[in-house]
């Protein structure tokens, strides 16, 4: 693929991703705004792939090495921290569920 | 691994991210959505490791252990109240990583003259600019929420001019790079000016608006990540980055809509400027504040028919959710009808109060959303405001000069009596005066929310 064709292809998927990004979260309750923000925050941790590619390639001078190394550290913090924080937020929401229909081991409502 | 296999596996990652976003917008599947996204991320990392271009495994692994270890420990240890600033911090480092990638690419490509094609140089300029703004802006947001610096809007004369000059300088350096400039100092100028702009841009925004700003910077980081995808000719970066850029932008608009404010109003300092006038107006009313003792309030609560708790950020700071629950249980035993009125933006992030009260196992049916709660204040004997301020400020209904005019609020002033638990008479996080405190129906119970609630529990028990 020539450079021009590749560029057109990349721009095509970029534009499609814009529409998809708007569409996929069109109806989200207020309650989930923060977890969703945190979840998308984790997803842009995908820059770790870029950081790995920059750092991983051989034939590099010290400056590139240092920049790449710092980028890998920052991006890993983004990925791990992002997903863990989101999970902790959502864990809180989860725990409320059993209270909506309290049951004991037999599946019967507990005596009041 | 061949490039075809690589790209197909990257496509699987993209699909998991799309599913993650879809599920994260549904309460019943949100947690699963986050987990599937994490699996997709692991796959992308594994695939990248398997690339023949990637040779420095050990160095990368060490970097990942350092960064990932920090992320895991910070995210595990942080208190629920500090979640918003953690999101800001992790967003900032992601933006920083994108900016560094573009710096490395610029540095690597330049020695061979003419190696920098126009599209690549534009992508480098964009990811350096946006990534650097996002990094610096997020760090300021983090510092404000962590209260390392003042949460109030920070303004000074000539601010707009200074911001304008800095952003012009950043753009000039960026355009010079896009136009084929190959001097390294252009990149330093671009990164530096963009970072300074990021700081200046967030400083004048009030702490209460930080969630919206973090969401916007989150979208920025997504865009920067997409731009690095063009530099590295990598689809998974382009698509994932742009998904976050687009959904993050929409989410930012939804969040500012939940506060009934325009995004421009949130971002461009209107908040700080108007509030000075409104504050002056409120204090000139010359109302007096009535302070009450815990015993007085305990009597009011115990002999009420209906009590509504209105939690706010003060509840989160004091970690008083368990005590509030205990007090509520005690009142219920005495036959008082208890509920909680939850404002959608109470606390420092939407859903903040739901998270905290869920942690204290507050029964779900007692949590009332704003629309459900407001009609009930008319027949409420005591509205107990626990560390909330702006979300119960009647100025939002009636004072057109107020910066929060038009924001939907909880109408606690319609209750028979309002009890406000507050640390002091300092205005809230947004720095706006609240006439509710001067209302003759209102009594103030000063002190840390947790201590005040514990005292109330004791006093109600001893009645």
Whether residue B312 lies within 8 A of chain A, CB to CB, comes out as no
Whether residue A8 lies within 8 A of chain B, CB to CB, comes out as no
Q: Does residue B261 surpass a pLDDT of 90?
A: no
Shortest distance between the Cα of B456 and any Cα of chain A, in A, equals 26
Q: Which two tokens stand for residue A94?
A: 């989860």
Q: Residue B22, Cβ neighbours under 10 Å: how many?
A: 15
Question: Of the candidates A50, A63, A89, which has its C-beta nearest B101's C-beta?
Answer: A50
Specify the pLDDT at position B270. 45
> Of B12-26, B231-245, B298-312, B428-442, where does mean pLDDT reach its minimum?
B428-442
pLDDT digits (tens, 9 = 90+) for A51-110: 999 988 766 688 888 999 999 999 999 999 999 999 988 887 654 444 444 444 444 444
Q: Does residue B28 surpass a pLDDT of 90?
A: no
Specify the pLDDT at position B114. 65
Domains of chain B by residue range: 78-268, 288-462
> Of B2-11, B149-158, B265-274, where does mean pLDDT reach its minimum?
B265-274
Domains of chain A by residue range: 45-93
> Of B125-139, B252-266, B310-324, B371-385, where does mean pLDDT reach its minimum?
B252-266
* Inter-chain CB pairs, A–B, below 8 Å: 382
Q: Does residue B24 surpass a pLDDT of 80?
A: yes
Chain A residues touching residue B212 (CB < 8 angstroms): none
Specify the pLDDT at position B313. 83
Question: Of the candidates A13, A24, A51, which has its C-beta nearest B22's C-beta?
Answer: A24
Q: Does residue B192 surpass a pLDDT of 80?
A: yes
| Homologous superfamily of domain range B288-462 | TPP-binding domain (3.40.50.1220)
Q: How confident is the model at residue B174 (pLDDT cuts 50, 70, 90)?
A: very high
Chain B residues touching residue A64 (CB < 8 angstroms): 104, 107-108
Higher pLDDT, B321 or A12: A12
Nearest to A31 by CA among B266, B391, B343, B94: B343
In the DSSP assignment, the letter for residue B421 is E
Nearest to B139 by CA among B217, B47, B40: B217
Are B452 and B287 a contacting pair, CB within 8 Å? Answer: no
Q: How confident is the model at residue B271 (pLDDT cuts 50, 70, 90)?
A: very low
Shortest distance between the Cα of B273 and any Cα of chain A, in A, equals 28
Q: Which two tokens stand for residue B119?
A: 């599209």
The CA distance from B463 to B458, in Å, is 9
Distance separating the N- and C-terminal Cα atoms of chain B = 75
> Of A7-16, B173-182, B344-353, where does mean pLDDT reach its minimum?
B344-353
Please indicate whether, in this complex, the C-beta atoms of B60 and A93 are within 8 angstroms of each other. Answer: no
> Of A37-41, A86-90, B176-180, B398-402, where does mean pLDDT reach its minimum?
B398-402
Map residue B439 onto helix, strand or coil.
coil
Are B208 and B145 a contacting pair, CB within 8 Å? Answer: no
Whether residue B59 lies within 8 A of chain A, CB to CB, comes out as yes
- For the segment B5-15, the average pLDDT, to the nearest whole number, is 95
Shortest distance between the Cα of B11 and any Cα of chain A, in A, equals 12
Q: Does residue B115 surpass a pLDDT of 50?
A: yes
- For the segment B92-111, the average pLDDT, to the nearest whole number, is 92
Are B348 and B82 a contacting pair, CB within 8 Å? Answer: no
Burial tier of A2 (Cβ tally within 10 Å: 0-12, 13-18, 19+): exposed
Chain B residues touching residue A33 (CB < 8 angstroms): 211, 215, 251, 254-255, 258, 349-351
Whether residue A73 lies within 8 A of chain B, CB to CB, comes out as yes
Specify the pLDDT at position B68. 96
The angle subtended at Cα A85 by Cα A80 and Cα A87, nearest 5°, is 100
- The answer to whether B7 is a known catalytic residue is no
Chain B residues touching residue A91 (CB < 8 angstroms): 31
Residue of A nearest to B127 (CA): A47
Q: How confident is the model at residue B147 (pLDDT cuts 50, 70, 90)?
A: confident
Map residue B10 onto helix, strand or coil.
helix
ipTM: 0.85
Nearest to A56 by CA among B71, B272, B56, B352: B56
- The count of C-alpha atoms lying within 13 angstroms of the C-alpha of B332, restricted to the half-sphere facing its C-beta, is 14
Are B249 and B217 a contacting pair, CB within 8 Å? Answer: no
Specify the pLDDT at position B439. 86
- For the segment B403-419, the average pLDDT, to the nearest whole number, is 86
Specify the pLDDT at position B237. 96
Highest mean pLDDT pick, B154-158, B225-229, B409-413: B225-229
Q: Which two tokens stand for residue B173?
A: 């350096």
Specify the pLDDT at position B267. 80
Specify the pLDDT at position A112. 41
pLDDT digits (tens, 9 = 90+) for B347-402: 777 777 887 888 788 887 888 888 888 999 989 999 999 988 888 988 888 887 77
Q: Residue B53, Cβ neighbours under 10 Å: how many?
A: 10
Share of chain B above pLDDT 70, in %: 93
Specify the pLDDT at position B434. 84
Shortest distance between the Cα of A107 and any Cα of chain B, in A, equals 19
Q: Does residue B458 surpass a pLDDT of 70?
A: yes
Please indicate whether, in this complex, the C-beta atoms of B31 and A77 are within 8 angstroms of each other. Answer: no
- The count of C-alpha atoms lying within 13 angstroms of the C-alpha of B454, restricted to the half-sphere facing its C-beta, is 8
Taken as a whole, chain B contains a residue count of 463
Q: Does residue B282 surpass a pLDDT of 70?
A: no
- The per-residue pLDDT of chain B, averaged, comes to 87
Q: Could you say which of B209, B323, B390, B413 is catalytic?
A: B390
Cβ within 8 Å of residue B244, ≥6 positions away: A21, A40, A41, A43, A44, B218, B219, B221, B222, B225
């Amino acid at each position: 693929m020539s450079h021009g064709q590749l560029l057109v292809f990349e721009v095509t998927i970029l534009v499609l991703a814009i529409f998809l990004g708007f569409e996929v979260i069109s109806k989200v309750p207020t309650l989930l705004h923060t977890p969703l923000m945190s979840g998308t925050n984790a997803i842009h941790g995908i820059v770790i792939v870029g950081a790995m590619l920059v750092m991983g390639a051989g034939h590099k001078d010290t400056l590139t090495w240092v920049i790449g190394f710092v980028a890998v550290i920052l991006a890993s913090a983004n990925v791990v921290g992002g997903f863990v924080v989101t999970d902790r937020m959502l864990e809180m929401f989860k725990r409320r569920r059993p209270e909506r229909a309290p049951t004991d081991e037999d599946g019967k409502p507990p005596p009041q | 691994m061949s490039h075809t296999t690589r790209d197909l596996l990257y496509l699987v990652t993209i699909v998991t991210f799309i599913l993650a976003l879809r599920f994260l917008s549904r309460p019943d599947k949100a947690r699963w959505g986050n987990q599937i996204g994490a699996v997709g991320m692991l796959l992308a990392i594994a695939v990248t490791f398997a690339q023949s271009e990637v040779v420095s495994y050990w160095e990368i692994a060490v970097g990942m252990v350092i960064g990932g270890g920090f992320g895991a420990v910070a995210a595990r240890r942080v208190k629920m109240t500090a979640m918003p600033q953690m999101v800001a911090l992790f967003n900032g480092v992601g933006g920083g990583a994108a900016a560094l990638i573009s710096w490395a690419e610029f540095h690597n490509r330049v020695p061979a003259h003419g190696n920098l094609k126009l599209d690549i140089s534009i992508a480098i300029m964009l990811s350096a600019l946006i990534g650097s703004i996002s990094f610096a802006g997020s760090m300021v947001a983090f510092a404000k929420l962590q209260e390392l610096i003042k949460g109030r809007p920070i303004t000074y004369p000539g601010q707009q001019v200074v911001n304008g000059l800095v952003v012009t300088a950043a753009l000039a350096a960026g355009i010079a790079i896009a136009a084929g400039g190959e001097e390294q100092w252009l990149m330093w100028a671009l990164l530096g000016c963009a970072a300074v702009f990021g700081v200046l841009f967030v400083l004048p925004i009030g702490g209460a608006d930080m969630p919206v700003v973090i969401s916007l910077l989150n979208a920025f980081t997504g865009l920067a990540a997409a731009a690095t995808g063009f530099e590295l000719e990598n689809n998974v970066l382009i698509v994932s980055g742009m998904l976050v850029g687009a959904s993050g932008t929409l989410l930012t608009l939804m969040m500012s809509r939940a506060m009934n404010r325009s995004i421009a109003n949130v971002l461009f300092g209107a908040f700080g400027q108007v509030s000075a006038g409104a504050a002056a107006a409120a204090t000139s009313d010359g109302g007096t504040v009535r302070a009450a003792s815990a015993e007085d309030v305990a009597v009011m609560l115990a002999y009420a028919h209906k009590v509504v708790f209105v939690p706010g950020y003060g509840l989160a700071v004091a970690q008083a959710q368990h005590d509030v629950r205990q007090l509520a249980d005690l009142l219920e035993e005495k036959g008082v009808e208890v509920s909680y009125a939850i404002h959608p933006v109470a606390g420092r992030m939407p859903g903040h109060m739901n998270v905290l009260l869920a942690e204290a196992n507050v029964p779900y049916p007692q949590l009332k959303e704003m629309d459900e709660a407001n009609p009930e204040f008319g027949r409420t004997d005591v509205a107990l405001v626990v560390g909330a301020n702006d979300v119960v400020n009647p100025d939002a209904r009636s004072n057109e000069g107020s910066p929060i005019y038009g924001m939907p609020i909880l109408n606690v002033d319609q209750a028979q009596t309002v009890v406000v638990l507050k640390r002091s008479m300092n205005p809230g996080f947004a720095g706006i005066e609240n006439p509710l405190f001067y209302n003759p129906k209102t009594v103030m119970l000063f002190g840390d929310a947790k201590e005040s609630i514990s005292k109330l529990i004791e006093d109600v028990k001893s009645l």
